[in-house]
Structure 1
Amino acid sequence: EGNSASPSPVTDGQHVWVFMGTGILGCYDFAGKEIWKFDLQDRYGRFNIQFGMTSTPVLDGDRLFLQLIHGDGDAKTREAVVVCLNKATGKEIWKQPRPSEAYAENEHSYASPTLYRDGKEAYLLTHGADYLIAHSLEDGHELWRCGGLQPDKYDPTLRLVSSPVAVPGLIIAPSAKGGRLVAIRPGGKGDITESEFRLWRFAPTPDVPSPLVVDDLVYLFRENSVLICLDAKTGAKLYEQRVCPSDNNRGSPLFANGNIYLTARNGTVTIVKAGRKFEQVWQTQLEDSTTSSPVISNGRLYIRTNEALWAFGEK
């Protein structure tokens, strides 16, 4: 279902950075003029990943961060790297290897990195190959890692697709295929898998849609259209509700204006009021299927379907 255009573009309002699954990374102005472009595979080696590289870059100030988590399936060889580039030139600022004991398809990650900031700490989170890892923004060195996403390495195909979510004081690390997700308290050092920094675990995890944190609640939108709401402090389940008859959903939930926005593969768009009890606000059916996540900008809701781009707003 993914393709070479799966990674999302990022922008600072003046330029756009585009990464393609083929390895091409480029910077363009809003008129479409190319500022720079190169092939990541030429610089960092051939991608060895079953369904293509789909990770979206992270832009932070003058730097562009990417996770390239892939491998040939042999636990004795390590191909995964995390890189930081100068956004203006594309030149490398740092590169760090990302070791793990993952094997087979578990070496492959389709998730995207994210930033964590709380006023005291700031670091890059990369997700894949059985671990969530925090990296220094300055040189990429590993600060801590959390495993437990695949206990006993029970599934050789447990590739990670869903991306982590981070808010001050809490990080949610999903896994895949109905496994567990892990809630983490920032501030640890080294391997925190079995430490006090692992707050709670919950199953089943979303396989593709990423989690969402709103205030003291965690929302999980699963592939079968079931929306799960958890207490962020304890992991206790507050409700579980199927919002529509659609399976194999791929879009992640979005929060805006007190509501949760959900897109289902069959084209159903649902709005649910954020809170500890399920309350549906609105639902409609588009004329096409979608595997994308909703986006809100300048008061409008945008949804990309297989054949069109839809915009919703007040008249």
Structure 2
Amino acid sequence: MPFSSDPQIAKTSQDLVSQFHTIFGPQPGIRPAHGKGLLLAGTFHPSKAAATLTTAPHLITPTTTPLTIRFSNSTGLPNIPDTDPNANPRGIGIRFHIAEHIHTDVIAHSTPYFPTRTGAEFLEFLKALSAHPPENGGVSAVEEFLASHPAALAFVRAEKAAPSSFAREAFYGVNAFRFVDGEGRETVFRYRIVPTLGEEHLDEEGLKARSPDFLFEDMMKRVEGGEETVFKLLAQIAEEGDVVDDATVRWPESRKLVELGEVRVEKVVGENAKKQKKIIYDPIPRVEGIEASADPLLEMRANVYLISGKERRAA
């Protein structure tokens, strides 16, 4: 997982990490975004349909692939209560361990789009969020930003209710990718991760009785008690004319969904905090049969993840 060779991407990525630290304060060893998390192990069981789209080894194998799965809350605060509205959207990272030193990742969160198209715009958004309030009741920096960026305004206004369990939450990959099959045919898609138990969210009244760590306590109880926790890994297929390089744009729900397989969550990873510091998820697939799209966020996100990962390991 190399750093970007583009100097502008490298600078903006570092500025993004620094801005997260400005907003949430220094949190050594913790991710600057989605800081509160839990690492689990599981297995992936591919479907037959997946092999018709790609030559990716974990999607065409007749056997299962080991997984490392991380559920998380939003913000860079490691102790944010699960009941806090700012803990939304929730996140998931899934690492497919294909062979020794060979892996690929899926990264998604519980909102089906991103507030900005580029990393530079996202940096501007974060700076506006942390700007000092205007004097004499003037228009704030974030109000100005949202007024000129309708996608970010829609993201802020979107309902983001807390799930009753991570096992009852759906997650969306906001970036597009390309499957490539054995004949070289390409299929543009976005990931979607759907719980087999169905989605379930809590209103304000339902949250009152929950503990600050109820989502993480629930997940540990589920896997330690042997409860089946399964997600369907889906690919939403783009059609001609769909915007495929802008994570702020959501494709219509009428688009075809192909089931790629099942993600089974099976146990809590030992030495959890230590392993969370070490693992660096990668938004770019870097595996045969799946290629990055032209979405400008992808290289930026990969760079941010690598910068923050190096910081965690050094803490």
| TM-score past 0.5 threshold | no
Give the TM-score, by structure 1 length: 0.28
Higher relative CO (CA 8 A, sep ≥ 6), structure 1 or 2? Answer: 2
Give the TM-score, by structure 2 length: 0.28
Q: Which has the higher helix share?
A: 2
